[in-house]
Structure 1
Amino acid sequence: MDSCPEFGKDPRIIKTFLYQILRGIAYCHSHRVLHRDLKPQNLLIDPRTNALKLADFGLARAFGIPVRTFTHEVVTLWYRAPEILLGSRHYSTPVDVWSVGCIFAEMVNQRPLFPGDSEIDELFKIFRILGTPNEDTWPGVTSLPDFKSAFPKWPAKNLATVVPNLESAGIDLLSKMLCMDPSKRITARSALEHEYLKDIGFV
């Protein structure tokens, strides 16, 4: 996807790509596989047909119920879910949905949403936009290994001001994909049914 810089100028193509990413991830999740390293570099696009394929399953892992304990060091920093950044070793499919949300915003803005240069910088870039989480917004967050009570307390911004070129239905879907509490984050399958993707047409 890195080699297709023009696609962000056409909202229909963004919608088509997002649908294909979500469909691929929903398929993985239905077969109990986490990708865990979703980023633009791992999305292969055929410029003739706009067909998209997920690539590089090097970090992929099978998962079961209950969620398994996985390594901390997964997902390129800019697309890494906050539960991983905060040290959770028990995570599941929501980490992939978070990554897709970051890619979605990047397709629209034509630049990364959370371009952190360290784990703490990444967290703070997320907090500055989505607000610093607390027990009200994310029950259990203060018990995660790397959560600090001294974290700055940033208020959440309106996502429509952060991704200004995205229509209201897209903002709604993005907000559900970038929900900090993974237990409340939309699933890939539910995202496919969202209003934003109702008029999907391949271009």
Structure 2
Amino acid sequence: MEFPKSAMDAFEKLEKVGEGTYGKVYRARDKATGQIVALKKTRLVEDDEGVPSTTLREISILRMLSRDPHVVKLMDVKQGVNKSGNTVLYLVFEYMETDLKKFIRSYRQHGDNIPPQVIKSLMYQLCKGVDFCHSHGVLHRDLKPHNLLMDRKTLMLKIADLGLARAVTVPLKQYTHEILTLWYRAPEVLLGTTHYSTAVDMWSVGCIFAELVTNTAIFAGDSEVQQLLHIFRLLGTPNEEIWPGVSKLKDWHEYPQWKPQKVSTAVPNLDANGLNLLSKMFEYEPSRRISARKAMEHPYFNDLDKTHL
């Protein structure tokens, strides 16, 4: 992991492609191979031994998850020092040209719908990647279209920004222009649960599914309360009968009482199998929400050619 003078000597920075809460991302060229890569620069909170063991653990998890074709590949890790003398890690990822957010936007701008078979293929790949992470005990906790990288030509989808947010870094500063989106957040998280389960990711998968079909976010709240009300308006206000223990959650209040609507009212152009799968992803009680593995076996995917996925 040690590295000559500066970690950057090995790479030619081409352009900054993103700036998240946890650091900058560059498109860069590896000078030795000519390969285009994505460089993610993260600042470290060091302990007495240098790089914290939590960081090394996170990196080894990322490396292990990289084996899956639907998780963005971590190719290398370089260590450098910035101007202030702090340790900086450069994570070298494979470069993907676009993400699902941009992909959806390109259809929306042309007033087109994404073809149903393309949606099906993307959803299957997403469930497959999520299942791989879950089967290795890793929750993503922030799945959203922006974190799903894509190759436009092959329609290959890969999950990015995995686990890193938790241990590798501290937020550098609050980016005012980048409001942390709540749109894909599960109701139990919005209600302050302390017990995260794999179901939080499956709720996000459901939100992404609906958005692929309609080109717009299904629950677009601008505060946690607003977000919950959007969900309750469509799926009905939950109660102890539907979701045992809901009223004991930390941030539970008395909410307006809405009756559940059919999910098809919000996602009109989805077939019966798709609606059935989506409603299983939108189960209120986390233990009853469909798992990624079960989702892959759902009849919705029966007519999909899975050989190359």
TM-score by length of 2: 0.59
> Which residues of 2 match residues 76-155 of structure 1 at below 5 A?
76-148=181-253, 150-155=254-259
From the CA coordinates, give the structure whose radius of gyration is larger: 2
Q: 1:97 to 1:201 in 2, by over 3 A?
A: same
Q: Which has the higher strand share?
A: 2
Instruction: Give the deviation of 1:175 after TM superposition.
Output: 0.1
SS of the aligned residue for 1:52 comes to strand
Q: Which residue of 2 aligns with 1:50?
A: 155
Q: Which residue of 1 aligns with 2:270?
A: 166
Write the distance in 1 (CA, Å) between the matches of 2:258 and 2:113: 29
Q: 1:17 aligns with which of 95, 110, 122?
A: 122
1:142 maps to amino acid: S
Q: Which has the higher helix share?
A: 1
Write the distance in 2 (CA, Å) between the matches of 1:8 and 1:89: 38
Unaligned runs of 5+ in 1: 62-74
CA RMSD of superposed structures (Å): 1.6
Per-residue deviation, residues 165-185 of structure 1 (Å, max 9, x unmatched):
000000000000011110110
Q: Which residue of 1 aligns with 2:291?
A: 187
Q: Which residue of 1 aligns with 2:102?
A: 3
Write the distance in 2 (CA, Å) between the matches of 1:100 and 1:77: 14
* Greater RCO, CA 8 A, separation 6+: 1
Write the distance in 2 (CA, Å) between the matches of 1:28 and 1:95: 13
Per-residue deviation, residues 63-98 of structure 1 (Å, max 9, x unmatched):
xxxxxxxxxxxx830000000000101121000000
Per-residue deviation, residues 119-162 of structure 1 (Å, max 9, x unmatched):
000000000000000011001101101111x2101111001121
Is residue 135 of structure 2 the alignment partner of residue 30 of structure 1?
yes
Per-residue deviation, residues 21-71 of structure 1 (Å, max 9, x unmatched):
00000000000000111000001110110000001113468xxxxxxxxxx
SS of the aligned residue for 1:83 comes to helix
Q: Which runs of 4+ in 1 moved over 2 A?
A: 5-9, 58-61
Is residue 279 of structure 2 the alignment partner of residue 175 of structure 1?
yes
Write the distance in 2 (CA, Å) between the matches of 1:116 and 1:196: 29
Write the distance in 2 (CA, Å) between the matches of 1:119 and 1:39: 17
1:172 maps to amino acid: N
Unaligned runs of 5+ in 2: 1-99, 168-179
